[in-house]
Amino acid sequence: MRWILLFVLMPLSVGIQAQQTRANIVFLLADDLGYNELGSYGQTVIQTPELDRLAAQGMRFTDFYAGNAVCSPARAVLLTGKSAANVAIRGNAGFFGNDRWEGVALDRDEFTLGEMLKGAGYQTAFVGKWHLDNPDDVETWAWGHGFDYAVQEQWSARFGGREFPPQRLWVNGDQEFVPYDYRQYDGKDHFRTDFAIEFLDAMDRERPFFLFMSYRAPHSFEGPLRDTDLYADRGWPEIERVHAAKITLLDRQVGRLLNKLEEMGVLDNTLVLFTSDNGAHFAAGGHDLEFFDSNGALRGGKRDLYEGGVRVPLIAYWPGRVEAGTTTGHISAFQDLMPTFADIAGVETPEQTDGISILPLLLGEEQREHEVLNWEIQLSGWFQTLPDGGFRQSARMGEWKAVRYGVDSPTELYNLDQDISESSDVADDHPELVQRMNRLFESARTETPGFPYGGVVQHHLSQDRYQAE
């Protein structure tokens, strides 16, 4: 590669010997991958051999949840450890009056996973989709939030966003960018994995590292693929062939990265986690989530607070620490990753988090459980009308799941142990539980600018205000 890897080796906060014994962390995040789109989760058509192998050698979570049902708020939960109803970002855009919808950046003062691990002496790298920034404020980029090495895309016109081709990846802020035509690669994630490998080659082998790979597949806005042969013999509509191909090509890049870690001799001391930022995407005229049974028995998909929008795969692999071939039904979510990583790094869990460390579970020890998980989302009015203000809430309490689309709408109640598809509303049979859930919807949250409680009813803006999600 013709660019130079630039990241600062920070002063050590603990001794070298202690640092060498702490596990590395590799976090792999797919974009809009459905619960049933991996072979290890039930997919029978799309091929994912590398991730299936990872699941067979590690732990598979059946009841793991994304931070939210769409990109920005889900990632905000992940980076801050705050729940969907407490984090500042509750949708891909907030409403600020006068028909003005805007993307909301992660505040430059917000404390993140990157800053926590960097302060613990880890070398930190972020590669891929950030989706939490103000394009004109680098302090809100990954580079400004604790990542020594940060490579990310930008959609703003100032940065050449949404040009096909070329596209650009920005390296360590806005002073250096790398233009590329992704059609010369096996998808965007091929090119991005090149950056991850360069980071691994240049880092200090005597110190632990945190690598956050934020992939782009199988998100819908990708354009054509270089590989026109993959699944070409199936007779599928082209949009479905491309969808399946993106997942298989992503799987290959995961395998490529794991092979690199193994060649370096660091894989045995590395926790690898793979998950998705929300449930499977679908849209009129686009990919049909039923074509490959992308969410299996789960109801809904991206933007829904039914299970199909927020329940996602999680695979945990850690040789010699996580028992191979295990499956857990432990109920956990994105906010649990910050305290988990804090435990692994040997630092105090930040007070801000609503999560519970799952390190005991990974190590086969007694695990504390959540009493409740809750979500709220504000749909944007960039390109759609918003019935009931586009405001949605849900909560899970043990086997019970409550869903409310609009604060004036009745609360639905489902028993997930008996009805994972959320097809039979039993709210009338459990009025006291419904009241409890409603109180939780109203009280277990904080106010945040741009996302008023209950949403903004029936706002509609024209297509030219659309921004990629």
CA proximity to 96, closest of 324, 348, 429, 381? 381
Of the residues 71, 145, 219, 287, which is catalytic? Answer: 71
Of the residues 131, 243, 281, 287, which is catalytic? Answer: 131
| DSSP secondary structure string for all residues of 218-280 | T-STT---S--STTGGG---HHHHHHHHHHHHHHHHHHHHHHHHHHHT-GGGEEEEEEESSS-
Token output for 230: 């993959």
Q: What is the dihedral of CA 79, 84, 88, 93, to 10 degrees?
A: 100
CA proximity to 402, closest of 370, 377, 435? 435
User: Is-catalytic flag, 71?
Assistant: yes
Contacts of 134 (CB under 8 A, 6+ apart): 103, 105, 140
Q: How far apart are CA 372 and CA 333, in angstroms?
A: 11
Q: How far apart are CA 279 and CA 281, in angstroms?
A: 6
Asked if residues 162 and 226 have their Cβ atoms less than 8 Å apart, the reply is no
User: Is-catalytic flag, 190?
Assistant: no
CA proximity to 413, closest of 424, 300, 405, 392? 424
Q: How many helices (H) and strands (E) does the chain have?
A: 10, 17
Active site residues: 71, 131
